[in-house]
Structure 1
Amino acid sequence: MDMNKKIVTSLLIGSIAVALAACGNDAPEKQAQETASQTQERGNAAASAPEDSYQRTFEDCVFLGDSITEGLSFHELLDEKNVLAGAGKTAEFSLEDIGELTKRNPKQVFIQLGSDDILWPTDDPIAYSMKNYAKLIGKIKEKLPQTRITLLSVTPVTEEAVKMEPRYQNIGRYNQAVKELAGKEGASFVDLSPIFSGGSDFYDADGIHFKSEYYTKLLELLKEQAK
């Protein structure tokens, strides 16, 4: 009887020791899994932080423009409510957006037009565009007198794009006209050329439109304007 008790006791102690050893081996593995999961969550939060920050910074703004401007919402740096733009938009066509812009009632509107205006089939596309650009600014002042207006320069294109479409050589002249118009109309003007001063690989395949990295640089440049 005593021998049986010893055997049972030995088996019980052995089972407990195995169980404790198993728990000890699982603990580091579980801790490592939890640490990896927490690190990934922090990484995801950090990755989304810039976009969230831009949406907060520009929550009371609207970007009005063509397909270049549309990239802000396409690449999801800003919500669609903050972007009123589309392919083929010119200063003339943007007059049709005044009603929608008035509904959104932004504190500030950033206008970037010209990439399509420069290609308009008329004798003097720059003069034609400036006439409609002035009308656009006038309408915004009339409907939204408290809204601040900032005009943005037309972004440069690659040399290959100029070879394909020589009229892009007039971007510099167009931007000078926009700067002068801003002065006449009491609007702000921002030259975007510093974004490209160190060279860039921001361009999409067509050499005209941009990858998301460009829009991050754009919003960084403009965030002080939005305060």
Structure 2
Amino acid sequence: MKKKLYQTYRSMTRWVKRQIRNPRKRLVLEAVAVAAIIIAIISLVTSGKKVNTEGIKEGVSYIKSLEKKDTSEIEQEIKEIKRAERKAALESGEINVWAQFNDSVILGDSRAVGFEVFDCVDGSRVFADAGATIRKIPEYIDGIKAVNPSSIILCFGINDVSIGFWKTCEEYITEYDQMIQQLQEALPDATVYVNSIIPATDPAFQKSEKWREIPDWNEQLKAHFEETGVPFIDITEEVEEHKDLYDVDGIHMRKEFYLYWGNAIIMEVTENE
């Protein structure tokens, strides 16, 4: 029952969000709300019941406040509500996160391989290899087209930073844009998402000091993709909250972390539907 209520809530908030984004639909939405209040007042008056004018004033005041709010502010409020609800549902086990990957594919390196190894996502939807960088993306395109997903999640970075193909993050971003463009041209109906790079930790720096630069790369990647409109999945918070879930090598993550990672991915996908 709770699961059905949550799904209904998610559908309603998604619909409201779409209406608010469109100024005309937003005006209609406000008009409908006002009309509903007027009808309620008339019904109360004709029924002879005492009308709570204070409650009505509060309702009208709230509707008027929507006009003054920036659309992005409203969207952020909805986003935070959905995030809190989803987190609660995840922790209680009411939602099966992995069941929601049935229209997505994950691309990436050995960290992304974990989605398949730990039986999180079906292997047919995971295109990843140990040591892979974004230059591997073109090799996956035919396989992705066969699956025909609506969402493509890119989980690269650990090798990209250290391998030496790109001297700076700016050079890396230039080639990343090219790879994303190839995906968009091959699958025009799919949305491409870029996942932040999971930082390395000790003892990983014994293998590459370059990995200390990952937080800086993430900042530049996030700024760039937010500017270009490519959805960016920032899992910095999840990593910070679950530092105890790093594997002993300081590079990979334990099975338990993938639940939090998967939830962050689906949150972003849901918000962009």
CA distance, structure 2, for counterparts of residue 193 and residue 214 of structure 1: 13
Match of 1:213 among 237, 245, 256: 256
CA distance, structure 1, for counterparts of residue 175 and residue 145 of structure 2: 18
1:166 corresponds to 2:206: no
CA distance, structure 1, for counterparts of residue 103 and residue 202 of structure 2: 36
Cα 1:175–1:79 change in 2 (3 A) is: same
Match of 2:144 among 98, 101, 104: 101
**Aligned position for 2:53:** none
Superposed displacement of residue 224, structure 1: 2.4
Superposed displacement of residue 121, structure 1: 2.5
| Pairs within 5 Å for 1:93-132 | 93-122=136-165, 124-132=167-175
> Does the Cα contact within 8 Å between 2:133 and 2:157 map onto a contact in 1?
yes
> Does the Cα contact within 8 Å between 2:108 and 2:132 map onto a contact in 1?
yes
CA distance, structure 2, for counterparts of residue 107 and residue 74 of structure 1: 23
What residue identity is the alignment partner of 1:197? E
> Does the Cα contact within 8 Å between 2:242 and 2:257 map onto a contact in 1?
no
1:66 corresponds to 2:109: yes
> Does the Cα contact within 8 Å between 2:151 and 2:191 map onto a contact in 1?
yes
| Pairs within 5 Å for 1:154-193 | 154-193=197-236
Q: How many pairs does the alignment contain?
A: 178
Q: What is the TM-score normalised by the length of structure 2?
A: 0.60
1:32-58 Cα distance to aligned partner (Å, 9 max, x none): xxxxxxxxxxxxxxxxxx6x9233211
CA distance, structure 1, for counterparts of residue 165 and residue 139 of structure 2: 21
CA distance, structure 1, for counterparts of residue 184 and residue 166 of structure 2: 29
3-state SS, counterpart of residue 156 of structure 1:
coil
Task: Give the stretch that moved more between structures: 155-164 or 166-175.
Answer: 155-164
| Pairs within 5 Å for 1:20-99 | 53-99=96-142
3-state SS, counterpart of residue 172 of structure 2:
helix
3-state SS, counterpart of residue 71 of structure 1:
helix
> Does the Cα contact within 8 Å between 1:109 and 1:147 map onto a contact in 2?
yes
3-state SS, counterpart of residue 206 of structure 1:
coil
- Based on CA coordinates, which of the two structures has the bigger radius of gyration? 1
Aligned Cα root-mean-square deviation (Å): 2.1
What residue identity is the alignment partner of 1:182? F
Superposed displacement of residue 73, structure 1: 0.6
1:131-166 Cα distance to aligned partner (Å, 9 max, x none): 321111101111111111111100011132124421
Q: What is the TM-score normalised by the length of structure 1?
A: 0.71
Q: Gaps (5+ residues) in structure 1? A: 1-49
**Aligned position for 1:135:** 178
Superposed displacement of residue 113, structure 1: 1.0
CA distance, structure 1, for counterparts of residue 217 and residue 261 of structure 2: 20
Superposed displacement of residue 109, structure 1: 0.8
CA distance, structure 2, for counterparts of residue 159 and residue 125 of structure 1: 23
Cα 1:55–1:220 change in 2 (3 A) is: closer
Cα 1:73–1:140 change in 2 (3 A) is: same
3-state SS, counterpart of residue 225 of structure 1:
helix
